Amino acid sequence: MTQHTAVMSAHPARRPFYRDLSIQVLVAMACGVALGVFAPNVGQTLKPLGDAFIRLIQMVVGPIIFCTVVHGIATVRDLGKVGRIAIKALIYFEVVTSVALVIGLVTANLLHPGVGMHVDPAALKSAIPGADPEGTKRLTDVGDFLLNLIPNTAVGGFAKGDILQILLFSVLFGCGLATVGDKAQPVLDVVDGVTKALFWVIGLVMKLAPLASFGAMAFTVAKFGLASLVSLGALIGEFYLTCLLFFLLVLAPISAYAGFNLLKLMGYIREELLLVLGTSSSESVFPQLTAKLGRLGVQDQVVGLVLPTAYSFNHDGTCLYWAAAVVFLGQATGVHMDWREQVALLGILLLTSKGGAGVSGSAIAVLAMTLAATKAIPVGSIALILGVHRVLSAAFVFTNIAGNCVATLVVAKWEDAVDRRRLQAELDAGFHPA
């Protein structure tokens, strides 16, 4: 960090509070809830606001992943280091998501949020939007899963928005550039220029974040109403408590081990955390997180490899959701699962959770796949939680984002790829726009 930058971080220009994006998003969410309650007919028409914002972000997420991964790998020019970072990241993801599944199962079994509902599964809808139990069941086959990683064409992953396919092509292309050596510099200059242009687009789109949060919250409350939230309050309370326990028992100790304060990190990315609460989409903040982690002093190759991979493999909050939801649905429909069946369920979730999209709607499809694979709990029982899925998804996407940032910083510590002084100075000062 230059002396000038250090001075700017230590003594940032104070801005009026109303210009803070996190304040704008929070106020917009509150206004959206109020509109959904008092004018539901209007609120239900505002769904396109949130959808349009997410599409604008999704439009550039694929190219940004490509540019950051390629630039990170090609500038290292040490493929052994690239492989080492990837292996460490995947081991971390597998361990932490396994712990999340265990916490989700234990908490749901202790608190019994679905006991006493006595729901007849036959009375529920069997067709779940976005769920393809048969198609998902096929994906649980390891061979099909691995084959699905490979796009049909170089741009196939970009066209479908498949993060894993984009990641695979980006890693291979980056490794190819790394082997070329100095001759690849003109290509890297182009990649760097494209990255800057994409982040300019993101900066422009982010100005619409409060409007998107307003529309998304107004639609959610208008569509499902506050009554639906109250009727399933036990599940909501249990799940939010589970997420809190995960922060206290897992993320906070890991952050302390890595040498930073979790609360300060969450304060640093508060705008992104509040935005995902409103939109329930983790993709909507990927570009901003990439920039902020770089500003915290994490080297480009670690950010470029770990963060995109985390979006596909490190679903901490979503694993909490799946575990809690499956146990809840079993309790609500009177299906008893002993510990052996629940351990088997954990194994299935570890497989089906990999490669899920960042958009929270995919969680329902994966949940349907898991129920179809266990063949114990009726897939149609998912209709019970559709009304509160948006409320639950806000919590698990929030947890996913925090977990992905922690993961990136931990792998950076293992690789000695983070400027410790810069990290502490930035976290102590808090984020201020340049």
Residue 225: pLDDT over 80 = no
CA distance 236 to 1: 44
Per-residue pLDDT band for 362 (boundaries 50, 70, 90) equals low
Q: Rounded mean pLDDT of the chain?
A: 79
**CA 239/CA 388 separation, integer angstroms:** 11
What is the SS3 assignment for 385? coil
Place of tokens 């998501």: 97
What lies within 8 Å, CB to CB, of 122 at 6+ separation is: none
Residue pLDDT, tens place only, 122-149: 555 444 444 444 444 444 455 666 777 7
pLDDT tens string 71-116: 777 776 667 777 888 889 889 998 998 899 889 989 988 888 877 6
Q: Comparing 120-134, 303-317, 364-378, 379-393, which segment has the lowest mean pLDDT? A: 120-134
- Is residue 243 within 8 A of residue 317, CB to CB? The reply is yes
**Selected residue with higher pLDDT from 238 and 137:** 238
Residue 69 binned pLDDT confidence (cut-offs 50, 70, 90): confident
Other CB atoms within 10 Å distance of the CB of residue 244: 12
User: Residue 403 has what pLDDT?
Assistant: 94
Distance CA(269)–CA(251), nearest Å, equals 15
Find all residues with CB under 8 Å of 236, minimum gap 6, and list them. Answer: 229, 388, 391, 392
Look up the pTM and report it: 0.72
Q: Which CATH number is 21-429 given?
A: 1.10.3860.10
CA 168 to the chain's CA centroid? 19
Domain range summary for the chain, segments of one domain joined by +: 21-429
Type of residue at 47: K
pLDDT tens column, 189-222: 898 888 888 878 877 887 888 888 888 778 877 8
Rounded Cα–Cα distance for residues 278 and 218 (Å): 10
Higher pLDDT, 91 or 165: 91
Angle among Cα 343, 344, 345 to the nearest 5 degrees reads 90
Is 396 or 116 the better-scoring residue by pLDDT?
Answer: 396
pLDDT value at residue 82: 78
